[in-house]
Amino acid sequence: MPLDKSLITVKIKEEAIKLGFLFCGVSKAEFLEKEAPRLENWLQNNQHGQMKYMENHFDKRLDPRLLVDDAKSVISLGMNYYTDLRQSDPESPKLSTYAYGKDYHIVIKEKLKVLIDFIKQHTGEINGRAFVDSAPVMDKAWAEKAGLGWIGKNTNLINKKKGSFFFLAELILDMELEYDITPATDHCGTCTRCIDACPTEAIIAPYLLDASKCISYLTIELKDEIPAEFKGKMDNWMFGCDICQDVCPWNKFSILHQQQAFNPPPELLAFRKKDWEEITEDVFQKLFKGSAVKRTKFEGLRRNITFLNK
């Protein structure tokens, strides 16, 4: 006898926590009406820079039913990556903590496969797809609808009890579940720490990011030379940036992650400024095997380090 939607929803959430997710919420698969004009304006103002892929599949980004036939539910999940480990040399070019360990796409995708299998065991054959920041899905919008947190002034999702150092992922399924119908409320208040702290002024207004000015974009997504206007404004970041999260008061509630895969190799933290400046492609390949840093490639990382030293 199949489980009712209330019971299977509880079981899915319990299994998600067992698999190491920080939290799990469920939304009804429907058109994202509120996000449509925001996305359109953001693209029209070219605030996505060279990320031309953001212009693709506009309709699919706003409607999960175009990604999975007869989709009825969006399960939003968060996985913690917060760590208090830091690079030992304070003068070394900096690496965002999300990229310390194994590529999160790989780690989370494996767990989502296990979760889908679990759901099938309890419900029979279902149609669904797993997404980890690599398809036209508006992760933060769905997570907000599911009550996992609110989208803050730095445009990151913030959870009142766990901060914002977590990855987001989704399962879109063609089965009805019990939906979390109370989205999280905004608790940024009058705080502007993230806006004030951004050295490139990428947060051009509360809740509005010009990605083409963001250090993460400049060091990862941008394929050309970094524009000279950002000289002296990169705060020594060579891959990604954590500034707007580090200054966020809600991250005092962040807890250390328990994912072994996200831990950095000891030699990564031990690298000194000179080591980074002299890094070879062979060392790069060994140090970042299975890492998200591979996205920028050796040439990209060398470009970033060189720019910091100009």
**In 13-72, at which residue ranges do the beta strands (DSSP E only) sit?**
23-28
b (16+ CB within 10 A) / e for 153-172:
bbbbbbbeebbbbbbbbbbb
> Which region holds residue 157: left if phi is over 0, alpha if psi is between -120 and 50, else beta?
beta
CA separation (Å) from 303 to 127, 225, 271, 306, 310? Answer: 44, 8, 18, 5, 11
Instruction: Say whether 133 is catalytic.
Output: yes
C-alpha–C-alpha distance, residues 184 and 81, integer Å: 21
What is residue 131's DSSP assignment?
A: E
What is residue 184's DSSP assignment?
A: P
Coil, helix or strand at residue 309: helix
C-alpha–C-alpha distance, residues 165 and 159, integer Å: 9
C-alpha–C-alpha distance, residues 127 and 172, integer Å: 9
What is residue 49's DSSP assignment?
A: T
C-alpha–C-alpha distance, residues 248 and 188, integer Å: 9
C-alpha–C-alpha distance, residues 43 and 211, integer Å: 11
Q: Which of the residues 4, 63, 89, 133 is marked catalytic?
A: 133
Measured at the alpha carbon of residue 23, what is the angle toward residues 133 and 207, in degrees to the nearest 5?
A: 55
Q: Which residues are catalytic?
A: 133
